[in-house]
Chain A
Amino acid sequence: MPAALPPTVVKQTELQSLKVSQVCIVSSLGPGVDATLEALRTGRGGLKPCTFETVTLETHVGEVAGVDRAMLPEHLAAFECRNNRLANMALELDGFEVAVTDAVARHGAERIGVFLGTSTSGILTSEVAYRHRDPVTGALPPGYDFAATHSTGALAEFVSRRLGLSGPAFVVSSACATTAKVFANAVRMIEAGLCDAAVVGGADSLCLTTLYGFHSLELVSSRPCAPFDIDRDGVSLGEAAGFVLLERADRAPDAGAVTLLGVGESNDAYHMSSPHPEGVGARLAMERALSRANLSASEIDYINLHGTATPYGDAAEDRAIIEIFGTDTAVSSTKGYTGHTLGAAGVVEAIISVLCLKAGFMPGSPQTRTQDPRLQSRYLLANEDARMDRVMTNSFGFGGTNCSLIFGWAG
């Protein structure tokens, strides 16, 4: 029997849908939408044995090639750090800057909000700086700029300046749900009239804190991760950046336009680093997203799972899925491709979900060979072609924070 859920106290009103005007993405699958789609179509994953920085852990990571060489524009040199470079790489892809320039012409720079997520921002800069402290005084090395690199809010400052936007801007740092939750911030700020459009998304880059931190929790696999597999034994970490330009949906939408139909947020109220075993918070987030979109479970064609490949986490999510959707709805995790990109996972998987909706296929799961028989969802091992109307994506994080998003065709 499903566990009884507490009554939903939060009022749910139908969401004014927002148009996905443009996306850009960089991950270990390569730069841009085309490289991402090609990898998903051909089953080419991005996970490789870890040679990052001075890390000596036996693990695989999804590292983005060329971040070290990707300098920032000269006038933004103060923001130089791996996280802002990764963000900048994404912003230069997929015609995103041109789309933002066009949006500025339509709305004005001060009417475009910037709501971004990151979990560790530019902490790598501080990790390296701590190795170079003055041996006598303990002081940090000259030139180290905490506010522009390490500070959690630095990403919002950098991206606002980089794109010439002056609307309301902040960073959401709700662990691994954060770049899903920023879509909810954009919906609220646009409905409140504080802006007419928003750049959402974010970046999370490889660093020692998360690599050694996840290792300390014994959550990391030594192999490329295999979500939902009978032999899954933990996550592979990755890095990525992705951004989405959201605007109020037009009365007469373009053919082929995709809109954000629903968002749902919840908390587990259970544990700091383990999900609720019955997936209670995950279920609430999905139910709230369906309610905001005014949809029933049967109207969702594909769900991109959080699916990090931990034995416990996948089981909790599977339970929540089958309680709402049963065992017929196609689901998969794409973390076998990208690794768990932590604070970037929400937007990476939102973009992958939108790309797959448009391209007409549901992605499989590269390392997953045999589905764990205890997990009952219809988990896709291989790609399946499908004409889809609506897709959902799940992101869950430390502290028990959960967010689900629903995208579908406009109109």
Chain B
Amino acid sequence: MRTYVEGIGVLGPGLCGWPAAREALAGARPHVDVGVTLAPSPLLPAAERRRCVPTVRLAMAVGAEAVAHADRDPSEVATVFTSSSGDPDTLHQILETLASDQRELSPTRFHNSVHNAPAGYWSIATRSREPSTSLSREDDSFPAGLIEAAAEASVDGWVVALIAYDLPYPAPLDAVRRIVAPFGVALLLNPERTSRSLARLDIALSARTGEATRMADAGLEALRTGNPAARSLPLLAALACGRETSVILDFGPSQQITVKVSPPC
């Protein structure tokens, strides 16, 4: 599947926005682990800005950055959201309430708990009625989203934003499902090469023959293995370097995805 990257958004520890992340990922400056601030998206109406939860904030921040980078109208862009989980804080609060004697849930908390909450808020904020899907595959959620977005671009001919995000769980869930830090990434993909193209991606699915590409920096490698959305880091590093290179992502127990990253021309 061939597709062209027109825009990139990223938000994670020490990786606040693509311009800064690009330098760290290309090795132009060391990666320094600093905390992530998640603010409500200015694209949202006031009521939704008050109600939105951390996953929505993270997904919308990286999605908006990628769409702006590509100079695209988000109302004309299809979306693929992917995450291993719904909003972790909301999930914990609902489970605590349901384990108590007072089981009444807040309606806002309930609608924020659905896996596709970021997709719903995004659609409201951007006025996009284009197709949107919300995927999940535990630690392989990013490659699942990547093949779906690439298929939407290459088969259906859609301009599509792939938005991947995962956040740490609060106690006690953090003991059974460890996610080390918030991380979100978005890629704006176009089936056609345009003047805005940053890179060409050729994406192939095959039986697993090689090891997944790792990060040389120990901190970034810990983030890659500690957050499903950060499985994208080797691909982002390849995009940051701008040279032709191939990246291998594990997908499921016996398959892999090979992404050949090339200059767009």
Contact = CB atoms under 8 A, between A and B. Distances in A.
Contact of A268 (B94, B129, B134, B177): B129
A10 B85 contact: no
A122 B156 CA distance: 33
A166 B253 contact: yes
Of residues B116, B117, B119, which shows the largest number of chain A Cβ atoms within 10 Å of its Cβ? B116
B218 interface: no
A399 B135 CA distance: 14
- The list of the 8 closest CB pairs from A to B, nearest first, reads A399-B120, A173-B115, A213-B110, A265-B131, A152-B136, A170-B144, A130-B99, A153-B138
Interface string B160-196: 0000000000011101110000000000000000000
A323 to B, nearest CB: 16
Contact of B135 (A170, A208, A214, A281): A170
Given A217-B107, A273-B107, A152 B85 contact: yes
6 contacts: A126-B91, A166-B252, A191-B155, A216-B105, A267-B132, A269-B75
Nearest to A285: B131
A116 B133 CA distance: 12
Contacts of A269: 75, 123-124, 126-129
A184 to B, nearest CB: 8
- Main secondary structure on chain B at its contact with chain A? mixed
Contact of A194 (B105, B124, B151): B151
B167 to A, nearest CB: 14
Contacts of A145: 176
A169 interface: yes
Nearest to B127: A269
Contacts of A13: 156-157
Interface stretch (A22-30, A131-139, A374-382): A131-139
Interface of A: 6, 9-11, 13, 110, 119, 126-127, 130-131, 133, 137-140, 144-147, 151-154, 156-157, 160, 166-175, 181, 184-185, 188-189, 191-192, 194, 208-209, 212-218, 265-273, 280-281, 284, 397-401
B124 A130 contact: no
Contacts of B96: 130
B137 interface: yes
A156 B82 CA distance: 14
B151 A189 contact: yes
Contact of A399 (B116, B176, B252): B116
Interface of B: 1, 48, 51, 75-76, 78, 84-86, 91, 94-96, 98-99, 103-107, 110-117, 119-121, 123-124, 126-138, 140-141, 144, 147-148, 150-152, 154-158, 171-173, 175-177, 205, 207, 251-255
Given A168-B205, A174-B133, 5 more contacts: A151-B177, A173-B86, A173-B134, A213-B105, A280-B129
A10 B132 CA distance: 12
A75 to B, nearest CB: 14
A280 B127 CA distance: 12
B175 A400 contact: no
Contacts of B113: 209, 213
A174 B119 contact: yes
B177 A192 contact: no
Given A140-B173, A156-B137, A268 B85 contact: no
Nearest to B78: A10
B99 A217 contact: no
Contact of B151 (A119, A131, A188): A188
Contact of B121 (A160, A184, A212, A272): A272
Of residues A130, A147, A189, A218, which shows the largest number of chain B Cβ atoms within 10 Å of its Cβ? A130
A10 B48 CA distance: 27
Contact of B123 (A151, A175, A268): A268
Contacts of B86: 152, 173
B173 A147 contact: no
Nearest to A181: B133
A219 B148 CA distance: 33
B254 A157 contact: no
A272 B132 contact: no
A208 B99 CA distance: 10
A365 to B, nearest CB: 27
A271 B76 CA distance: 19
A152 B84 contact: yes
Of residues B75, B115, B119, B140, which shows the largest number of chain A Cβ atoms within 10 Å of its Cβ? B115
B252 A169 contact: yes
Contact of B175 (A139, A166, A209, A399): A139
A214 B114 CA distance: 12
Contacts of A212: 98, 103-105, 110
A307 to B, nearest CB: 20
B124 A271 contact: yes
